[in-house]
Chains A and B, each alone.
Chain A
């Protein structure tokens, strides 16, 4: 990266909270939604948030968003290349 990042984009108000699911908890979540990881939505490894999180290909990411109707809504994405 040529330009050093000065600030974390994670602090921006439009970026929802991204977390890496620890591997031991991954299976539980995947099983809750049909047990097939390849059916989960994806997020690119090159996504700025993923780059900053330092997640690896195959990691499961939990995204917590604010929602006017649901309060908090939880979304999962699998890191892909």
Chain B
């Protein structure tokens, strides 16, 4: 391929001479078509400006529609107008220069000095303007300097008196080249008088084609409409001048011409009412075509569309692998994959063409394509030889890319293998929801089919789902079992879980074990035994579980290991000895078990593990029923006693604080005022009392769960870490405690009080948003209002933070997207500038680490000890 390097691009303003030279036609009439529907000679649709009808030839270049690029025309303006986009530039020049001699109103010596300073243009201009704004007299010719005012975008006033584009143009013409250099102008290529248009460049027809509607009525492009306006006013202005009309009328028409040219360039110029279509819709003129999300750049140039892609709703299917995507038959038969015919597959392919409908196209070695149909099938079979290609339907095992927007990180698009299935939705294993951030409430996802061997290889090597289990961001599992998955494994591995013969047979069979192992305890099989069957031989692990943490909270002075064996997980030679499999083993960013499996047995083993757990967990939860009833939140006398005590304490303590606050002898918190200290104290007090109730509730709940016959599902969820927390259960069964808005007690509302039902200046606990009830009891009226205040803040926060963080993230991602690690391990930008001398300044790839640490020493030591 011929590669050429672009040396540079130069942008400039067109001179009137250049515009005339470029012109293929001088447009004279505002009409487009005559009554017979033929383009008018000298009109805006003159065939000299290009062709848009297939079959016709261009009158300028003689080529047909596809070849003719279109040609520019010109319109000689009867009176010049200021180009609206250059109003600011013109203003600069007029402020700085003298209207009599055109020189910058600064003494020559100073100018000479300034010419020698090498500063950025903006600074140069700023310096000139700062100096000349104050100047009263031109130092070159002695004329008094007048004040220039710009009424945006294009009206100029000299000493409060309107000056017209003709005068402006004459003035700009007077400015000598040597002075323009100081404004950063390249005087060989640009002159400021070109900012005042005397001739208008008319874009070719190809850029503003007319559309013929079904009814036969021709509809013109917005640009054409605008040009018609300009030409019409131009003509009227000419007639009026020729007829010797009064100055006032001429000036009005002149302003109108200025308006139309301004809106021709930008129909959103500030200070100018946008030109409207007959229907009232604002016209889409030049700037609007390029700008913004729907503009040429973001919509047409950056936003490219692809073939070989599909989109559909997603639905879960836990019985397929995390590497698979269920593709509906209907979609699979539309998507194609090219396959090269070789000596080795020639026979199979001929059979495929002959016996099935799967082959859609046949591509000869020279690239000629032929559609396979009943008519062509026979001759195509004759033609099959090595080096040719077929394009066949998607089939099981084909590599595809699966993606969900917004594509915020690399795992928003992963490679999977297709699995053709009935139905009309894409099916995916719910485990891969996490990286895609997908759920099944109607989410749609995109599927792409790589078309080359390189593409397929790259996809599988770099993006295959199972290879993404460990996050490249923080070096811990991201593709994880969550929610029901964790609850399920927790229930399975609890000491109290005992399986009868039937269940054990089913679970072992699902894991591919056809011979029933001997029961571990008496005549029932333990859940731990079943779980162990999912682990590979030789795996050794030991770590604290979530139970450890919870027990430590309840009994800070005791060793959780002694309280219950499940607080410490131990796997020896692939056998789960003690411990429950919870979030610590499986969760995001923790996942000790998953990480160990991945590192020591490879991604395939994790995939197998997920496959097995999905089946068994699904069955366990279906049988048990992971639902929560009201009985789970019923309290006993003991909890009520603790609660009553906590509330009493809260109220008493609060009263004391209020008293101290009112007297002003409250102990201050360093760096806080009296008011702030008081508020903070009240918040802390509320949190403290709630904590006491929470502890009591959790103590009872945990004890119940660790007993021989636990029955509460909410505790399972909290203890396994799959969903919910102790705070949630306290809110339902205990008390809500202090309502908070912006990390403090709610304060705004009525004068000196929160709600009108409170007394003024009451700063006590109850008046400050303390809620004594819980969700089971229901709140008192006042409490309900306090609660809503906090609730509203939560709602607002989620809305604001998604918006703000989304945009921040977009900016960050766009600025970093071209960075890459070069062969010498330096991080470089797109133009090969060095960003980092070794990647990350330490050369570590987080995906290959253990939560950022290059080596997990504890784990390595453990292995050595074995």
> Which residues does A use to contact B, with CB under 8 Å?
32-34, 36, 39-41, 65, 67, 69-70, 73-76
With A39-B832, A41-B834, A75-B837 known as contacts, the answer to whether A34 contacts B842 (CB < 8 A) is no
Output the least CB separation between A29 and chain B (Å): 10
Give the residues in chain A near B834, CB-CB below 8 Å.
33-34, 39-41
Which interface class (under 10, 10 to 19, 20 to 34, 35 or more) fits B? 10 to 19
Interface residues of B in 828-845 (CB under 8 A from A): 828, 832-838, 840-844
Output the least CB separation between A65 and chain B (Å): 8
Q: A36 CA to B842 CA in the complex, in Å?
A: 23
Give the residues in chain B near A69, CB-CB below 8 Å.
840-842, 844, 852, 854
Q: A73 CA to B834 CA in the complex, in Å?
A: 15
Partner of A70, one of B822, B828, B842: B842
Q: A4 CA to B834 CA in the complex, in Å?
A: 36
Q: A74 CA to B825 CA in the complex, in Å?
A: 14
Nearest CB in chain A to that of B832: its residue: A39
Task: Let me know if B826 is at the binding interface, CB within 8 A.
Answer: yes
CB pair B841–A73 under 8 Å, yes or no, is yes
Task: Let me know if B382 is at the binding interface, CB within 8 A.
Answer: no
Output the least CB separation between A25 and chain B (Å): 16
CB pair A73–B842 under 8 Å, yes or no, is yes
6 further interface pairs, Cβ-Cβ under 8 Å (given A69-B854, A75-B837): A34-B832, A41-B833, A41-B835, A69-B842, A73-B842, A76-B837
With A67-B841, A73-B838 known as contacts, the answer to whether A33 contacts B832 (CB < 8 A) is no
Q: Name the residue in A32, A33, A41, A69 with the highest tally of chain B Cβ atoms < 10 Å from its Cβ.
A: A69
Q: A73 CA to B839 CA in the complex, in Å?
A: 11
Task: Let me know if B824 is at the binding interface, CB within 8 A.
Answer: yes
Give the residues in chain B near A70, CB-CB below 8 Å.
838, 841-844
CB pair B824–A34 under 8 Å, yes or no, is yes
CB pair B841–A33 under 8 Å, yes or no, is no
Nearest CB in chain B to that of A29: its residue: B837
Output the least CB separation between A26 and chain B (Å): 15
CB pair A39–B833 under 8 Å, yes or no, is yes
CB pair A33–B826 under 8 Å, yes or no, is yes
Nearest CB in chain A to that of B854: its residue: A69
Q: A67 CA to B852 CA in the complex, in Å?
A: 13
Q: A67 CA to B843 CA in the complex, in Å?
A: 12
Q: A73 CA to B825 CA in the complex, in Å?
A: 14
Interface string of B836-866 (1 = CB under 8 A from A): 1110111110000000101000000000000
Output the least CB separation between B37 and chain A (Å): 62
Q: A70 CA to B854 CA in the complex, in Å?
A: 10
Give the residues in chain A near B828, CB-CB below 8 Å.
39
Interface residues of B in 199-231 (CB under 8 A from A): none
Q: A34 CA to B835 CA in the complex, in Å?
A: 13
With A39-B832, A69-B844 known as contacts, the answer to whether A74 contacts B824 (CB < 8 A) is no
CB pair A33–B824 under 8 Å, yes or no, is yes
Partner of B841, one of A39, A40, A41, A75: A75
9 sampled A-B residue pairs with Cβ under 8 A: A33-B834, A34-B832, A39-B828, A41-B833, A69-B842, A70-B842, A73-B841, A75-B841, A76-B837
Q: A76 CA to B826 CA in the complex, in Å?
A: 12
Q: A41 CA to B854 CA in the complex, in Å?
A: 28
Q: A70 CA to B839 CA in the complex, in Å?
A: 11
Nearest CB in chain B to that of A71: its residue: B842
Nearest CB in chain A to that of B849: its residue: A69
Nearest CB in chain B to that of A40: its residue: B834
Output the least CB separation between B147 and chain A (Å): 38
Q: A74 CA to B843 CA in the complex, in Å?
A: 12
Give the residues in chain B near A33, CB-CB below 8 Å.
824, 826, 834, 837
Output the least CB separation between B825 and chain A (Å): 10
Nearest CB in chain A to that of B828: its residue: A39
Output the least CB separation between B12 and chain A (Å): 28
Q: Name the residue in A36, A65, A70 with the highest tally of chain B Cβ atoms < 10 Å from its Cβ.
A: A70
Output the least CB separation between B833 and chain A (Å): 5
Output the least CB separation between A72 and chain B (Å): 10
Output the least CB separation between A69 and chain B (Å): 4
Give the residues in chain B near A76, CB-CB below 8 Å.
837
Output the least CB separation between B33 and chain A (Å): 59
Give the residues in chain B near A65, CB-CB below 8 Å.
841
Give the residues in chain B near A39, CB-CB below 8 Å.
828, 832-834
* In the complex, the 9 A-B pairs of residues with the closest C-beta atoms, listed nearest first: A70-B842, A73-B841, A69-B842, A39-B833, A39-B834, A70-B841, A40-B834, A39-B832, A67-B841
Output the least CB separation between A21 and chain B (Å): 13
Q: A33 CA to B838 CA in the complex, in Å?
A: 10
Output the least CB separation between A18 and chain B (Å): 15
